[in-house]
Chain A
Amino acid sequence: MPNQISRRQVLQGTAAVAGVLPIRAALAADTVIGFVYVGSRDDYGYNQAHAAGAAALKKVAGIKVVEEEKVPETDAVEKTMESMINLDGATLLFPTSFGYFNPHVLKIAKKYPKVRFEHAGGLWTDKDPTNVGSYFGYIDEAQHVAGIVAGASTKTGKLGFVAAKPIPQLLRNVNAFILGAKLANPNATLQVIFTGDWSMPVKEAEATNSLIDAGVDVITCHVDGPKTVMENAARRGAMISSYHVNAAPLAPQAHLTGAEWNWEVLYPRFARMFTSGETIPNFYRGGLKESLVKVAPYGPKVSDAARKQADDVKTKLTAGDYVIFKGPLKDNKGNVVIAAGINRGQTDPELEKMSYLVEGVIGAAS
């Protein structure tokens, strides 16, 4: 039991807190790292991806991991972080939900300047405390590669996307997916249904069903827990492309590939920097090249030609010489959104404001 702390240690910790002494003395041997999740750790989605990163840290000697799931984005998360600092002696925290950052992480970071906070979301600006960092992965790169596989595998030419809210990060995934699909099948279309929130299992199931009723035969999604979508789509005979984590265990035959986070590489990297006294960059982003995201292994239904085409683009993305969003690009209302001759690379701030769906997508962003 690596993260078990004896009662005596807790009492010592309590005494230390009461006496306003540094608690770390009680647990001096190890670096304690705390993880906070907004949902459950086994959601086959956003939270499970982070928990996989935490699990990778547990294997590192000299590190203790403490975890808490289903912590809402209210002052509850402030108390959870403080509890990890005060009662467990955590010195590095990973509050993983996007909505934790402002005001909660910023507030607690100001209160505990010696503790390091690493938030998933890429929200840090130079006005924020320097003991806070925010990181994020360009997962649209992996969605682009998955789109190629989906475009090559579809029989009907109709792809489906179950989406939560029309925010820039999500629209970027949708657009990257159809742009990939069109490389393999120029006539492919992608129908999007927005459910309105991050975790709406009933609506997600309904959206999946209505997409399949409309002739869609490959489904992907961007919701917090893709399990409902994946299981339903596979049961209805559609092919699936996973998101957040590899959904192949749910339906090995129907699974094509997918866009996954690769936190199990990033978190040990951060922990090494932290324990060796090196500064973790406050703003940290990357895609396939920095191995912050990955493409799920191809399933049995993916043809050799599709594998080759997808691998080709993946290699270029990993080398860093491939641009997904380049002009001329039209949205699905016919307006030019990126003029001819303009390349919008991953770090282009214009992409952060994406508010359109590109040509080939059936649906409306607003």
Chain B
Amino acid sequence: MKADVRPVTQDKFGWLQAAWSERLGRAAEYVVIPALALAASLAAFGIFIALSGKDPADLYFYMYQGAFGTWFSWQNTLSRAAPVILTALCTALPAQLGLVIIGGEGALLIGALAATSAALIVPDAPPIAVQFAMAFAGMTAGGLWIALSGALQHYRGVNETISSLLLVYIALAILNHLVEGPMRDPASLNKPSTREIGAANMIGTIPGLDVHWGLVFGVVAAVLAYILIFHTVFGFAARIAGGNVRAAKVVGLGVGRLILIACFLAGAAAGLAGMVEVAAVQGRTNANLASGYGFTGILVAFLARHNPIAIIPVAILLGGINASGGLLQRRLGLPDASVLVLQGMIFLSVLASETLYGRLAIFRRGS
């Protein structure tokens, strides 16, 4: 018996070591491969810029300068990242179930409308109560909006990608109708808007930072989503259903329930982004809200491979690219579209780099 113990322990230890370096290798893979893809797209963009007669060195300098080079630039970057973290979750959560939801913009608009309505119904309640009512209304309305796409998919077999996209236009039409009709502030003559929610009810910025609370909400929501997906039974069930829906049904998982809950939570995240846009930036609802955060969220979710934690750095990176876009226009005289070209290059090279996973031997030394 005694003679057996040592080899077994050694074996166990060896297995642990192998598993550990396997895990480390895979984690490194998730960092190194996207970083390489990013570097490749930046290099390609540099060539593109050189061909249009500008110095690529200036390009990289101003990109760094405008995105992360000063304390002001950091705050600029983080402000732009804040709403996108939440709208990216709107795509990333249903993606665990294999659903491709691209209608975060619609949930954002409906959430903003609901949040504004809540504030306008109880304008004189204590601000904290108004803010909670706004958040609750925004998240519920946004959640129901995306749950509608999930329900159509599950019960009627309607493609959720198409239905969620079409619901964006319906949301925009509802918003325009209400803002230009029943909810219009008669004083907003040339810019139809709802009444203002009142300065006292605004949620303001994070102390010491010129970035609104949406950033904190986004980070908290992303962490909660990560825990939900990777450390709860619900998340496990959702990933099973996403991997093989028939197998999930065979083992008795309630797939419909999973879809509805995941879609509701996804829409709630985007609805919260809408509430924050109203309560921290615009102070009322009007056409300004349809500024495309919901669509940028799709890009971020895909670049982050639908991992909620990875969404945070990706959103900050895209926020930085957008923040530096202004400086590129001003200093290098580049048109705004050049930033879109760069975003497109990043998106393509990150998607193309997916084929590299599991193929680079350097990450496989442990196994």
Contacts and interface: CB of A to CB of B under 8 A. Distances in A.
Interface of A: 3-5, 7, 10, 14, 17-18, 40, 66-76, 79-80, 82-84, 86-88, 98-99, 103, 121, 165, 167-169, 196-197, 352-353
A40 B80 CA distance: 20
A103 to B, nearest CB: 5
Interface string B337-353: 10000000000000000
A69 B190 contact: no
B329 A69 contact: yes
B65 A168 contact: no
Contacts of A75: 79, 212, 281
Interface string B287-327: 11001100000000000000000000000000000110011
Nearest to A37: B336
Contacts of B212: 75
Contact of B330 (A67, A72, A79, A353): A67
Contacts of A79: 76, 79-80, 323, 326
Contacts of A99: 191, 286-288
Interface string B28-66: 000000000000000000000000000000100110011
A18 B65 CA distance: 13
B131 to A, nearest CB: 17
Contacts of A87: 65-66, 70, 72-73, 327
A83 B76 contact: yes
B176 A196 contact: yes
Contacts of A121: 190
Closest 7 CB pairs of A and B: A70-B336, A73-B288, A72-B291, A66-B330, A79-B76, A167-B190, A75-B281
Contacts of B66: 83, 87
A50 to B, nearest CB: 15
B331 A165 contact: no
Given A3-B330, A83-B326, A84-B330, A17 B192 contact: no
B71 interface: yes
27 contacts: A3-B330, A5-B331, A14-B69, A17-B72, A18-B70, A18-B71, A68-B329, A69-B335, A69-B336, A72-B291, A72-B292, A73-B288, A74-B277, A76-B80, A76-B322, A79-B79, A79-B326, A80-B326, A82-B72, A83-B66, A83-B323, A98-B191, A99-B287, A121-B190, A165-B180, A167-B192, A168-B190
B267 interface: no
Contacts of B326: 68, 71, 79-80, 83
B281 A74 contact: yes
A19 to B, nearest CB: 11
B161 interface: no
Contacts of B335: 40, 69
B189 interface: yes
B-side interface mostly: helix
Nearest to A4: B331
Contacts of B287: 99, 197
Contact of B192 (A74, A76, A84, A165): A165
Contacts of B331: 4-5, 10
A353 B283 contact: no
A352 B186 CA distance: 12
Nearest to B173: A196
Given A14-B70, A98-B191, A168-B189, A68 B277 contact: no
A149 to B, nearest CB: 27
A73 B189 contact: no
B21 interface: no
Contact of B190 (A10, A14, A66, A169): A169
B163 interface: no
Contacts of B65: 10, 14, 87
Contact of B189 (A17, A68, A76, A353): A353
Nearest to B322: A76
B282 interface: yes
Nearest to A88: B330
A87 B80 CA distance: 18
Nearest to B70: A14
Given A71-B326, A87-B327, 13 more contacts: A3-B333, A7-B58, A7-B61, A40-B335, A67-B330, A74-B281, A75-B212, A76-B291, A79-B79, A79-B80, A98-B190, A99-B286, A168-B189
Interface string B172-191: 00001000100000000111
Contacts of B329: 67-69
A237 B326 CA distance: 41
Interface in B58-100: 58, 61-62, 65-66, 69-73, 76, 79-80
Nearest to B280: A75
Nearest to B291: A72
